[in-house]
Amino acid sequence: MIYSTRPEFKHFSCESEKVDSDPLFWKFKVIDPHIDSGLGELLNLIGEYAIQERDISNRSYISGSSEITNLANFFESSSLPSDKEHLASLVVQKVRERTTYLSEEDIRETVEHGPLLEDYAFLIGRLKAYKQNPALLEQNSRFIFDPIKRRLDLYLGPDEHRLLAMSRVLGLIPFSAIERLRETKIRVMGASVAASTIETLVALGAENIVFYDYGFLDPAKMPQMPGGMGDFRNSGEPKVKALMELVQGRNPYGIFLGIPGKVLIPGEAKQSEFDVYLDEIIDDADLLIEVVDQYHIKAGTRAHSDKPIVFVADLGSDPIAGIEDPKLNLWFNREISDEDKARMSKIPASREEAIREGPRAIYLMVNKDLNDDHRLQFLLASLGLIPFWSQTPTSTRESAALASKLIIEWTQNSPVMGKNIHPNESPKTLIEMFNAKTSLNLRRICAELLDIPPSII
């Protein structure tokens, strides 16, 4: 029962030793070489896998530690304060020294808008610690072992990894939103359309994602896949295996697990040790992302979930994404009759029934958002003349960005649930909007500071 030792694996048991199908074998190992048990584990691993010197690298650690040291040196030499109040006063002082148009009060109101100064003060304080204690970087470092590539890398510790990742969204995404995203348990059904969304969420800071898909990659799917997952050499690999490799490379410290099994509803029998029932997934989630082909699983998710559901559809060149509020009972953020809900929820009795009912159910979900180019392709597919659903790589990336933005907004309790949006409706900012006054004052400050004519403010 190798899955029973940690809560996030509680639904699974596996007696198989086949490394090609065991998701626990795909997991990176994080080793602390600064404690006796970690050093012993490291030496055992080197012996077990016959790791050679060429398989061990410290390049990532050197690069990361150099970046942190340079930032710490900058903050030290610039004498930047590590509390918001004094940092705001410093910014106001420097703006007043180089501008004359606005009052101190207006400048302060403008520069204190949003999370920038508060988060910057936090970042300064955290990074200054490495100047005060230069040994901290080495003490926090970890070895990361990739069991598939049999590669061993020395890397920054988890806190340092998070700090550098957050530093580049400073002022654009509140650190508090990233922290809530990190703590959110996200469970994903499907690893094709959803793969880009998962990868984007991990890049934003999500650290607890389990995804389910029993399918395999093939060359036709590669254009839609993110990053290295779309490498042609992954053809024939389980989708979840390639996706695990990708997201663990983004963040080796997260809880990421790809389960190569089917999602089932009561009445369906397990055919694999990795198959899992829908209610188990729902119970283990804070947020669900559902992108599966089986219409009765889509319906079952809505019928049984008390958790928000992210809906993503790559429609032609104009994809949609939305977060469904289970309290509203609006399946796919649409008004669908009880009769149609019951029809969608029925387990198909035969392949012929699934082929007949599937297109009807999908059409009900996306009809109002379907452009005619994709509607025509859908027509031919429904007639049995095209054996697939067309999707463009651009739509896959756009829908991932849409869904990820909505999830960031959701972490801040913004009223984003209950509607689907297109790219032209995407949030233009992920912080509180500037009002007319602060927006104009900010433009005036920048124009005067940079000697820009007032006529083009």
11 closest CA partner among 20, 304, 2:
2
Structural domains of the chain, with CATH: 21-172 (no CATH), 175-425 (3.40.50.720)
Confidence of residue 9 (pLDDT cuts 50, 70, 90): very low
- Separation CA 293–CA 316 (nearest Å): 17
pLDDT in tens, 314-332: 999 999 999 999 999 999 9
pLDDT in tens, 348-381: 989 899 989 999 999 999 999 999 999 999 999 9
**Which pair of structure tokens corresponds to residue 321?**
């994404």
From 19-33, 42-56, 99-113, 288-302, the region with the lowest mean pLDDT? 19-33
Q: Is 339 left (phi over 0), alpha (psi -120 to 50) or beta?
A: alpha
- What is the predicted pLDDT for the residue at 17? 42
Q: What's the pTM? A: 0.93
What number of CA atoms fall less than 13 Å from residue 196's CA on the CB side? 24
- What is the predicted pLDDT for the residue at 3? 42
Confidence of residue 394 (pLDDT cuts 50, 70, 90): very high
- What is the predicted pLDDT for the residue at 8? 45
Confidence of residue 389 (pLDDT cuts 50, 70, 90): confident
pLDDT in tens, 54-85: 999 999 999 999 999 999 999 988 999 999 99
pLDDT in tens, 245-262: 999 999 999 999 999 999
- What is the predicted pLDDT for the residue at 28? 97
30 closest CA partner among 253, 218, 259, 357:
253
Give the sheet arrangement for strand 208-212, strand by strand: 255-259, 208-212, 186-189, 287-290, 309-313, 320-324, 420-421
- What is the predicted pLDDT for the residue at 252? 98
Taking the chain, what is the end-to-end CA distance rounded to the nearest angstrom? 65
Question: Residue 19 pLDDT > 80, yes or no?
Answer: no
pLDDT in tens, 266-325: 889 999 999 999 999 999 999 999 999 999 999 999 999 999 999 999 999 999 999 999
The separation between CA 110 and the C-alpha centre of its own chain, rounded to angstroms, equals 31
Question: Residue 226 pLDDT > 90, yes or no?
Answer: yes
Round the average pLDDT of the chain to a whole number and report it.
93
